[in-house]
Amino acid sequence: MLDLTDWSLFFSQRSGYHFADVYKAPADPKMRWIVVRRPHVEGHWHYSKIIRELLDGREAVAQLPPHAAPGELQISIYDRQRPVPLAAATEINPRDRELKRR
């Protein structure tokens, strides 16, 4: 598990990858679960790119709370063993689309 919030690792008292380990996690083929907040995924930081690559277009399997109120944090949990949605798997990068037009 990669838990950028430390929420699930703390309460489950299990081992896993913390925020400081985000660069190590992709090398672990057994790493299944990713626990993040929206800014972790949508940010412009280098680790955000790594998270997006790990998620590979997958949708969250759970969000806590399910419907966050304005100003309330929401934690999303992703399962990397869940298949990638077909739309995400076939989506063309806008930059690649521009190259095809030339």
Please name the residue ranges forming H helices in 1-102: 7-12, 38-42, 46-55, 86-90, 94-101
Return the percentage of the chain with pLDDT > 70, whole number: 83
Return the percentage of the chain with pLDDT > 90, whole number: 57
At residue 101, the pLDDT reads 44
First to last CA, the chain: 42
Token duo for residue 89: 């798997």
Reduced DSSP (H G I as helix, E B as strand, rest coil) percent helix, strand, coil of the chain, to 5: 40, 15, 45
What are the sequence ranges of the domains in the chain?
A: 2-101
Distance CA 100, CA 102 (A): 6
As a whole number, mean pLDDT of residues 1-10 equals: 86
What is the reported pTM?
Answer: 0.76
Q: What is the pLDDT of residues 44-68, one digit of tens each?
A: 999 999 999 999 999 999 999 999 8
